[in-house]
Amino acid sequence: MAGARAERAIKSGLTTTRAPFIEQAQAEGRLYIHQPYELYTDDNHEAWRRLFTRMEDRWRRYANPRFLQGIDNLCLDPARVPRLEDVNRFLSPLTGFQAKPVSGYVPSFLFFDCLRNREFPTTITIRDGATLDYLPEPDIFHDIAGHVPMHTDRAFADTLVRFGDCAHTAAEIVAGIRDEHEQIRRVTSIFKALARFFWFTIEFGLMRGPNGHGLKVYGSGLLSSHGEIAHAIDSPEVQRYPMQLEWVINQYFEIDHYQPLLFVVDSFEHLFDLVGELERWMREGRLDNVSPGEPAVSEPDLRSFLDASRGK
């Protein structure tokens, strides 16, 4: 039995749904880990190769030019799961960002705080080769091929840092509230606003193309999805609206199907300014009563903000 289990573990390597190394790190409460590169199997590398090579045409057609530049700058090997150290050798000199391996979900405040320190919590497992298309949680393809090329761009990198500032502002606001019930109510509302803004920009954002013509993708959820990147731009079923802050912070979203509603920003400078506006709205109390609904706030997310507000 033990032999069969070991054999299965070796065969699955670092697959998202079956990775003993990750399960052990989680059981021990270790968030930040190293990337045990030797555990990737041929199947894992083959899954990366198939994911990467089938995206190349799509990226050239649909992706924002700065993403394409980022892919070039990172010198990713289409045939092998990347080593984070290699990625960081190209990434850090450009914007100071680094991809840091984690064992799973990072509670919201900590995640934003990592961005503030120019660290990107990076999943190191890879989806099973049999299920290339649908994956509810991030994997290394989503994080490295979808997110990290954008981190090579200075304006985009600075925008991520501003998200970290927003999380600190939220903790500061909550620290000034005495009633615990009101603290929780306020964190919940601000969290929803931040998470929705992040979702409709960093994960699923669209941008006007060069010289204002057409639309290009810059959101990482789209950049790592072979089907949805085309759907987002070409499908008549998708509603696309110019970015409106008051709408986005009140707009619920669901993660288990293609997005029916997307928002368009003018430029990365526009996006950077919007995060500044979001922070101002937070200080003015305009994020305190956003509409209920998705996303739900998990206990670890809530706790991460309350702990930060108490200086823990």
- Residues between 203 and 222 that touch Fe ion (CB under 5 A): 220
- Residues between 111 and 130 that touch Fe ion (CB under 5 A): none
Provide the mask over 150-169, with x wherever binding to Fe ion is found by CB under 5 A and - wherever it is not: --------------------
Contacts of 183 (CB under 8 A, 6+ apart): 174, 177, 306, 309
Contacts of 236 (CB under 8 A, 6+ apart): none
State the nearest-atom distance from the C-beta of 138 to Fe ion, in Å: 5
DSSP state of 83: P
State the nearest-atom distance from the C-beta of 135 to Fe ion, in Å: 11
State the nearest-atom distance from the C-beta of 137 to Fe ion, in Å: 10
State the nearest-atom distance from the C-beta of 93 to Fe ion, in Å: 24
User: For residues 195 and 287, which CB has a smaller minimum distance to Fe ion in the complex?
Assistant: 195
Asked whether the bond before 295 is cis by omega within 30 degrees of 0, the reply is yes
**Cα separation values, 207 from 1, 87, 197, 254, 272, Å:** 53, 26, 15, 21, 13
- Residues between 258 and 277 that touch Fe ion (CB under 5 A): none
Q: Which tokens go with 105?
A: 């979900």
User: For residues 147 and 186, which CB has a smaller minimum distance to Fe ion in the complex?
Assistant: 147
Q: CA-to-CA distance for 81 and 84, rounded, in angstroms?
A: 9
User: For residues 126 and 174, which CB has a smaller minimum distance to Fe ion in the complex?
Assistant: 126
State the nearest-atom distance from the C-beta of 146 to Fe ion, in Å: 6
Rg (CA), the chain: 19
Q: Find how far residue 148's CA is from the centre of its chain.
A: 9
Closest residue to Fe ion in the complex (CB) = 220
Give the interface size with Fe ion as a residue count (CB under 5 A). 1
Per CB under 5 A, residues contacting Fe ion are: 220
